[in-house]
Homo-oligomer: A and B are copies of this chain.
Amino acid sequence: MKDNTGYQRKSLLFGTAYYPEYMPYDRVETDLSMMCEAGMNVVRIAESTWSTLEPSDGIYDFSFIDQVLEEAGKRGMEVIIGTPTYAIPSWLEKKDKNIMVKTKAGQAVYGRRQIMDLMNPAYRFYGERVIRRLLEHTAGHPCVTGFQIDNETKHYGTSSELVQKLFLEYLQQKFVTTDRLNETFGLAYWSNSIHDWSDFPDMNGCINAGLSCEFERFQRSLAAEFLLWQSEIVREYKREDQFITHNFDFQWKKFGADIAQDGYSYGVQPDINHYEAAKAVTIAGTDIYHHTQDQLTGAEIAFCGDSIRSLKDRNYLVLECQAQAFKYWTPYPGQLKLHAYSHLASGADGIMYWNWHSIHNGYETYWKGLLSHDLSVNPAYEEACQIGDQWQKTGKNLLNLRKDNKIALVVDNQSLHALEWFPIDRDLSYNDVVRWMYDSLYELNMECDVVDINGLDPFKYQMIVTPALYSITEDKLKQLKAFVSNGGVLVSTFKSFVSNEYLSVYPDTQPHLLHECFKVHYNQFTDPGTAKIKGQPVQYFAELLITDGAGALATYEHKYWGNYAGITRSDYEKGSTYYIGCYTDKKIVKEILTMAAKDAGLTDCIPDVCFPVIIRSGVNQDNKKLHYVLHYSEEETAFVCPYDRVNNLLDGMNYKKGDRIPLKDWDTVILEEE
């Protein structure tokens, strides 16, 4: 795939998702004029409108697309075309009822988006046809800058007969004999072993965690393969200068009413592997939703941005970011700007609101766009105009920000699912541990890459953090050991290095293999009860650590567990290791991370301030260092300039080292070093 490695933007993108199909009356000209007035230069269209594009089998109608392309053309705007496959027309469902996904819960009923069986041949046939027609029709248009394949693709829990048959073939190829299958997953347990492949049972009843997680891995690979398939089709039509992207989303954390879609981007996506799937695109794209108003911290923007940037170690597009969204998120003055710059500070090359206008009669009527339902100027639109104005002036300075982070936080789908089967605690998920560690780094202004274990090259980094990396291969363990031997600093939490890739717990000293580097082991763990550590309550889980040469940074404060360590540090060959054996207050985690960063020789590049003043840095196209200063607080404050000579790109003010730089509530300052 020759062009996968490097689409580079020539300008920041600023725009919105736009669906003229949903409008109560024809407003394309009006809307694109308002966008232009706001300084927007891109619209993203078509990704959920199959029933409009192909109202009946084989009948096509591209009039909405043509109208947008024409109006965009007049205004010099770019257009991103989405393939419409993630929501199917009802006529298609009538072709083959097995297009609707079958999951453990039964077969889906037509209505929602994202409920197809991705492997269904009829779905593939009609999907391919509409993609080809759409690409034929649009790829040649000068405005069209790129394509988004499908949208927020996941495996949707597909476990149809077809998918189960494919999984069986996959297992047969991988394990060859049923004996190896039985041994690998311990199927003798509760009489689940098989001795003939024809005895392989329905996966919907499976209670073997390892085999179930292998099935989920297989399901994720189907979703990745589906995107690759679309990508191959698009490549047949697209120009060299056009990109292919996809809108990757994150684990959604629900709040608010059940029926409503209120929620936010919280952690690692369980139902597709971003690293695997990113092979299909030339530039990664994402949607990121997050609390705002008093709860705006920037942590989700940073976590998700660091994750998406790390997929290809490159800039990316925020294909969807929130405008007004839910009632909880009506932005305070200044917050829409702060959102926008927070995205750029992570390496985004542009943002697009979801979406332009609030929808008048769909499921997402109260997922509000930039315009409210009255389709008129409002405070959100007015603040977007300010962003557009600033980007027209400073866009060149902000484009293609490069980062060279020396810290990696390692994430893993398999560990995520493992800890769903074997919860650390009812109230502590894998992603909670990931965010506990990530947010601690974030609040300390220690920038990091968020790297999938499958894509990790340890030797690029000086410090590696593994939150609850439960499942890991022997090979990866050996790499991590070599990383420490060669001088790296490894910081690991409880529930790391417990099982192999098939969730079989390593039947020897824990943590497996790396106990040599940590110089610590354990054979007991406990609910912490009333135990404390360093004066703070221990919560959810505590491993009772026995040191074998490590230093105990803290032992448990408890009548019976007082002899056991809870947090340890050790040197190992040229490197050093930290093991955090229990969950406790983030302030203790931050102490450990600060020590570790010092060991890793990273202290110099970490700013001296911390949350709510967040500084995120990089190098721009002019090879100048850029520092985003993002102020997530309603209190005014100031901070002391740590840089020799800098210029705030947003207001032209110059500062030198030691100057007090004022920060208003929810303020953004962008300092360019001279």
Contact = CB atoms under 8 A, between A and B. Distances in A.
Interface of A: 19, 21-22, 24-25, 48-52, 55-56, 59, 84, 87-91, 93-94, 108-113, 185-196, 198-202, 204-210, 256-260, 293-294, 324, 326-328, 330, 332-333, 358-366, 372-376, 378-380, 420-423, 425-426, 499, 502-510, 523-527, 529-530, 541, 544, 559-560, 634
Nearest to A332: B560
12 contacts: A21-B189, A52-B193, A59-B195, A93-B201, A94-B199, A111-B207, A189-B361, A189-B364, A209-B365, A330-B526, A375-B507, A375-B508
Contact of A186 (B22, B93, B330): B22
A51 B361 contact: no
Nearest to A262: B426
B426 A204 contact: no
A52 B191 contact: yes
A510 B365 CA distance: 15
Given A22-B189, A89-B191, A194-B91, A373 B205 contact: no
B365 A191 contact: no
Contacts of A21: 188-189
A277 to B, nearest CB: 22
A204 B364 CA distance: 19
B333 A191 contact: no
A361 B206 contact: no
Contacts of A204: 109, 111
Question: How many copies of the polypeptide does the oligomer hold?
Answer: 3
A361 B185 contact: yes
A209 B363 contact: yes
A318 B376 CA distance: 51
A559 to B, nearest CB: 6
A502 B361 CA distance: 9
Given A260-B423, A362-B208, A526-B327, A509 B199 contact: no
A363 B91 contact: no
A431 to B, nearest CB: 15
A87 B49 contact: no
A87 B190 contact: yes
A462 to B, nearest CB: 32
Contacts of A634: 559
Contact of A191 (B49, B510, B560): B49
Interface centre among A88, A360, A380, A509 (most CB of B within 10 A): A360
B421 A24 contact: no
Given A208-B363, A363-B207, A508 B191 contact: no
Contacts of A59: 195
B257 A426 contact: yes
Contacts of A379: 524
Contacts of A186: 22, 24, 359-362
Contacts of A529: 293-294
Contact of A378 (B51, B189, B523): B523
B525 A327 contact: yes
A202 B209 CA distance: 36
Given A332-B560, A502-B361, A505-B365, A84 B373 contact: no
A665 to B, nearest CB: 8
A51 B196 CA distance: 12
B113 A190 contact: yes
Given A260-B426, A361-B504, 16 more contacts: A22-B189, A24-B186, A24-B507, A48-B191, A87-B190, A91-B196, A111-B206, A111-B207, A113-B190, A189-B363, A190-B363, A365-B505, A366-B422, A373-B507, A373-B510, A559-B634
